[in-house]
Structure 1
Amino acid sequence: MGRTDQSRRTPGQRSRRRVVPLEPVPPGRMRSVFALLCLGLVGLMGRMAWLQVFQATELEARARSVQTQRTQPLGTRRPIVDRTGRLVALDEERYRLWLHPRYFNLPGDEPTLIRPPADVAARLAPLLPMSEEAILQRMGDRPSGIKLMDGLDPETATTIRAEGISGVDLESYPHRVYPQGELFANVVGFLNQDREPQAGLEQSRHQDLQRHEQARSLRRGADGTPLPDNLDAGVFFGDDLRLQLTLDARLQAVAAKALADQVKTWKAQKGVAIVMDVTNGELLALASVPTYDPNSYWSFPPARFREWSVQDLYEPGSTFKPINLALALQEGAIQSSGRVDDNGSVTIGGWPINNHDRRANGLIDYATVLQVSSNVGMVKAMANLPSSTYWDWMSRLGLDARPDTDLPGAVAGQIKTKDQFTSQPIEPATASFGQGFSLTPLKLVQLHALLANGGRLVSPHITRGLRAGDALAPPGSRQGKPLLDPEVTETVLAWMESVVEQGSGQGVKTPGYRIGGKTGTAQKALNGVYVPGALICSFVATLPVEDPRYVVLVVVDEPKGDNAYGSTVALPVAKSIIDGLLVIEKIPPSSASRSIPTKAG
């Protein structure tokens, strides 16, 4: 039966079961395929070796550039604060608004849709101080890279960013702000629009004011996860240092207002008011008029950017007389109980010298010499001091040297050469009442501090250094090079106190306080020639006399009027400053009064 079934199969069924016999591969073909496979494997191994040995550095750098996000420093600056911590200068975040019309797209649009500029201008106009027309005009037909506006505040930038408009970019940058406006412009200075310092401490302390910043490199994985490697040491260091001034914003405001009012009243060219702590040389106030607003410096003439109290020279006049008397006392050329005969006029080397009022005051003591501001009395007193010794003292006081100060731009004074001073009798004679040489207001303050602190020459300065966080630096310690005997300075201060009690300084008297002072009304010299009718009025005060702590100097340049004197022009400003100083520094009333030398002769 089995055979019968096999016999009934069709020829097609039998053909499908046929096995094709295997044929041997020719040896040549096998060798060719094997050689081809080996060649490919060698090529692959060679390529791997090339990439890993010769191109490893390049490929690693390319990979790191893709994986690493590098942030460059913004170039921010440290804040500046006054002695109490009030902000004087700081960096605030501002934004630039950039437009790229070829990418304009609004939320909800198809990704490929490009909006016309008018649609975006309509969205931005209500958020900016610009009309739609102005925005469209600024864009023009440019496709990209259009800077629409600078100086946007963070609130406005946040509002614009919330609109979600594609093609609108905000670029942040630091912007220097001066919250006190004009108050400290004369000493702090400003940055221009390129953030380059142009004046004041911003320029002289540029390196100190630059915040410590590093470029940050952060590696990320394939999914964007930050990787905690390849970070430089200190990359996340927070620099919170601030430059602290010795100036007090409260006293600075008092001085600036009183000075500005008086300069306006007398139609003067300019004025300066300085308050110094005589124990350590710290300046509590340094106000100049006219000044400028550093937040809009471009609106003011460049001449206002310089601080003339440390850069311009003038002849101090009678305010230098106490310094001269101290030198004569120090050398024993005069005695504290001595007197001079003031007959109203004296001739030196053929040149007549008169008192300012041409009065003869008779036989007077040195306290009265200061009270009546006698030029003749000063000439006769200083004639007892050899001119060579006199010149040596003027040089020792640093009249011809730049003051040791952190105030930018400070210059040296000018005195005659020693040969001129000693060979021409008129030179020491005019120097005795403060003319014939020149110095800066800052130098005169330093010299009166020398009288107030017992004979030590301190360095005037306006900064206490860099401080971290909210910490404030304490006042500086007593310092200074001793030059005069304390007994000498105490005697001269008593004579200056008599000027306030009985002389031309009576307008500064304050009940309960002992104050010494000296007025000055000097001719103004320009290029060595006295300008007809031009005067420089000044007043210097020391307080409290029983324990001197502060010197106040006011100088007003070229006041107009028939009654322009140190007592009428500069003294009222000093009086306002002293009233503010007594309150701000909480100076207690004097515990006892000193007997005041009376006028003699």
Structure 2
Amino acid sequence: MIKLEGALYPWRFRLVLLLLAVMVGAIVWRIIDLQIFDHDFLQAHGDARSVRHIPIPAHRGLMTDRNGEPLAVSTPVTTLWANGKELQAAKAMWPTLAEALGQKPDDFARRLQANANREFMYLVRGLTPEQGQKILDLKVPGVYSIEEFRRFYPAGEVAAHVVGFTDVDDRGREGMELAFDEWLAGVPGKRQVLKDRRGRLIKDVQVTQNAKAGKALALSIDLRLQYLAHRELRNALVEFGAKAGSLVMVDVKTGEILAMVNQPTYNPNNRRTIHPAAMRNRAMTDVFEPGSTVKPFSISAALETGRWKPTDTVNVAPGWLRIGKYTIRDVSRNSGVLDLTGILIKSSNVGVSKVAFDIGAEAIYSVMQQVGFGQDTGLSFPGERVGNLPNHRKWGQAETATLAYGYGLSVTAVQLAHAYSVLANNGRSVPLSLIRVDKTPDSVQVIPEDIAKTVQGMLQQVIEAPGGVYRAKVPGYHVAGKSGTARKTTAGTKGYTPHSYRSLFAGFAPSHNPRIALAVVIDEPTKDGYYGGLVSAPVYSRVMAGGLRLMNVTPDNLPSEEDVKTVDATSNKGGRG
């Protein structure tokens, strides 16, 4: 029957043979093609099972102060990892490995058991190369190492709020480390290696892509000034039992921030016990009502309208002023007549309010906006706040008065320092910078030069005139500034918290050719007073004195030869007596 069918249908048999021949031919051709013509295919798949590319960490860029002093450097560290499956075959060595890692044997064993089926797990990160090599020398099967970098901060807590820090993966998480992460980070490289099926390294083949180191970053701060400001602010908090404080120093001509310190602070090299509040850069993130420190800008607005001259007077008797249900009071219980300079010296709320009623709140608002209140500083610092400068459609007397003497608006310490730098720079506003500036930036005239110079002279009298803030004086220099004392509000409550104040002082020096603008904010002093002229002014004096000397600014208030001779003669007479 079979022979009959084959005889009857010979073409079927030939078709089957032909199909078999075609299949065999296709297989043979594919073998020849893969071995001779397309051998890259087999090589690629073979390499995929044995060739690996492991990352080469990039060296993060160096961060320095304006003079090249290191603020953040990267040091090589060793990270140890393990293949959980391989470690299961070496349980006898677990206690030895746990001891070398500084871990409890029982906890370590439970951790390895929980990761028994994983081919990768971290054992410890950030060891020094010497520590890592000691553990590798134990020859524990399944334990391997990775070369990484760890950030170190030579200035420690002194520059922590500005510099910030990186996380365990060397990525920026705070401060300038975060703001310039892409600039500093660099690009990791790749190394081609051969590994067996268990992932063990057989051969280091070649570097396929070199790591590209991050770029260096020179900040505007001067580490010498930073140390000085940090010390004086810390001492003031201890002396007056204050809760916190901030200090900002600005180069008047370039807009560079020369020092920025906050208390409390933290050590970025050891962050195990850091309290979150200590990590806050208060100079950038904390807003407050600036109080009397804004009165010079209200006076500037009055002079700019042309309705007022420095010699014009205001009757501030009897030292208080009733507006509806509100009463404006002068702390010093002023009475009588004050000119515009006297309003600043006596810090008269009544006087500046009457001036504000005459010129209108819009004029004061315009000046405050031009000097940077309620505006972005352009620093692009993580978490920075812009504060609030209210702009009412219709200004009532109460809103006008409070704006004039520094309530109803909120600013940061950086904005306050910048505003005073505008006055110090003859009314020209220069953009702030936390990066070193090698070329003087363009400036914008926001207050007429003659008015700015007039206010500079007034603020010098605030310190040097009888009854002025003598604690802010700097030996050898004429300086200018204004104190302020602002009541504090508490979140979630209406009105002001009893017996809770911020002590403020802002100014610039030398007053005839200013180089430095400085703002000091001390939060909730609890001992020996709370007025800005008592608490913050001495900090201003000491930091400004050290800053002027470190920047080699020529003294402009040295005693004359006649004064020196008179002092010498008096001393000699006293010696003979």
For the aligned pair, the TM-score class normalised by the smaller chain equals 0.7 to 0.9
TM alignment of 1:235-250, pairs within 5 A: 235-236=209-210, 238-239=212-213, 241-250=215-224
Q: Deviations over 1:313-337 (max 9, x none)?
A: 2111111111111121122131123
Task: Give 1:180's match in structure 2, choosing from 128, 152, 155.
Answer: 155
CA–CA separation in structure 2 for the residues paired with 1:236 and 1:370: 63
Q: In structure 2, what is the equivalent of residue 497 of structure 1?
A: 460
Cα deviation, residue 272, structure 1: 0.2
Q: In structure 2, what is the equivalent of residue 450 of structure 1?
A: 422
CA contact (8 A) 2:252 2:422 kept: yes
The residue type paired with residue 556 of structure 1 is I
CA contact (8 A) 2:332 2:346 kept: no
CA–CA separation in structure 2 for the residues paired with 1:100 and 1:153: 21
TM alignment of 1:138-537, pairs within 5 A: 147-161=122-136, 167-216=142-191, 235-236=209-210, 238-239=212-213, 241-343=215-317, 344-349=319-324, 351-360=326-335, 362-421=336-395, 424-464=396-436, 475-502=438-465, 503-526=467-490, 529-537=495-503
Cα deviation, residue 491, structure 1: 0.9
CA–CA separation in structure 1 for the residues paired with 2:175 and 2:419: 24
TM alignment of 1:81-100, pairs within 5 A: 81-98=64-81
Q: Cα–Cα, structure 1 residues 165 and 64, in superposed 2: closer, same or farther, change >3 Å?
A: closer
Q: Secondary structure at the match of 2:333?
A: coil
**In terms of mean alpha carbon deviation, does 48-57 or 261-270 score higher?**
48-57
Q: Cα–Cα, structure 1 residues 99 and 315, in superposed 2: closer, same or farther, change >3 Å?
A: closer
Cα deviation, residue 185, structure 1: 2.0
Q: Secondary structure at the match of 2:358?
A: coil
Q: Cα–Cα, structure 1 residues 48 and 552, in superposed 2: closer, same or farther, change >3 Å?
A: same
Q: In structure 2, what is the equivalent of residue 597 of structure 1?
A: none
Q: Secondary structure at the match of 2:315?
A: strand
Q: Cα–Cα, structure 1 residues 481 and 593, in superposed 2: closer, same or farther, change >3 Å?
A: farther
Cα deviation, residue 147, structure 1: 4.8
Give the percent of matched residue pairs that are identical in Structure 1 and Structure 2. Answer: 27
Q: In structure 2, what is the equivalent of residue 556 of structure 1?
A: 522
CA contact (8 A) 2:58 2:214 kept: no
**In terms of mean alpha carbon deviation, does 565-574 or 498-507 score higher?**
498-507
Task: Give 2:507's match in structure 1, choosing from 522, 534, 541.
Answer: 541
- Paired residues in the alignment total 528
Q: Cα–Cα, structure 1 residues 589 and 394, in superposed 2: closer, same or farther, change >3 Å?
A: closer
Q: Tell me, yes or no, if structure 1 residue 590 matches structure 2 residue 556.
A: yes
The residue type paired with residue 519 of structure 1 is S
Q: Deviations over 1:263-300 (max 9, x none)?
A: 23322221101100111211011101112222333422
Cα deviation, residue 227, structure 1: 8.2
CA contact (8 A) 1:406 1:462 kept: no
**TM-score of the pair, normalised by structure 1:** 0.78
Q: In structure 2, what is the equivalent of residue 25 of structure 1?
A: none
CA–CA separation in structure 1 for the residues paired with 2:535 and 2:555: 27
Q: In structure 2, what is the equivalent of residue 5 of structure 1?
A: none
CA contact (8 A) 1:331 1:385 kept: yes
Q: Secondary structure at the match of 2:33?
A: helix
Q: In structure 2, what is the equivalent of residue 12 of structure 1?
A: none
Cα deviation, residue 563, structure 1: 2.1
Q: In structure 2, what is the equivalent of residue 29 of structure 1?
A: none
**In terms of mean alpha carbon deviation, does 508-517 or 394-403 score higher?**
394-403
CA–CA separation in structure 2 for the residues paired with 1:341 and 1:320: 21
CA–CA separation in structure 2 for the residues paired with 1:101 and 1:67: 20
Q: Secondary structure at the match of 2:373?
A: coil
The residue type paired with residue 367 of structure 1 is T
Q: In structure 1, what is the equivalent of residue 570 of structure 2?
A: none
Q: In structure 2, what is the equivalent of residue 468 of structure 1?
A: none
Q: Tell me, yes or no, if structure 1 residue 77 matches structure 2 residue 51.
A: no
CA contact (8 A) 1:323 1:448 kept: no
Q: Secondary structure at the match of 1:403?
A: coil
CA–CA separation in structure 2 for the residues paired with 1:368 and 1:43: 105
CA contact (8 A) 2:344 2:459 kept: yes
Q: In structure 2, what is the equivalent of residue 110 of structure 1?
A: none
CA–CA separation in structure 2 for the residues paired with 1:398 and 1:115: 66
CA–CA separation in structure 2 for the residues paired with 1:522 and 1:151: 47
The residue type paired with residue 260 of structure 2 is L
The residue type paired with residue 574 of structure 1 is Y
CA contact (8 A) 2:183 2:215 kept: no
Q: Secondary structure at the match of 1:419?
A: coil
CA–CA separation in structure 2 for the residues paired with 1:193 and 1:123: 23
CA–CA separation in structure 1 for the residues paired with 2:187 and 2:25: 55
Cα deviation, residue 522, structure 1: 1.6
Q: Please tell me the root mean square deviation across aligned C-alpha atoms, in Å.
A: 3.6
Q: Cα–Cα, structure 1 residues 565 and 52, in superposed 2: closer, same or farther, change >3 Å?
A: same
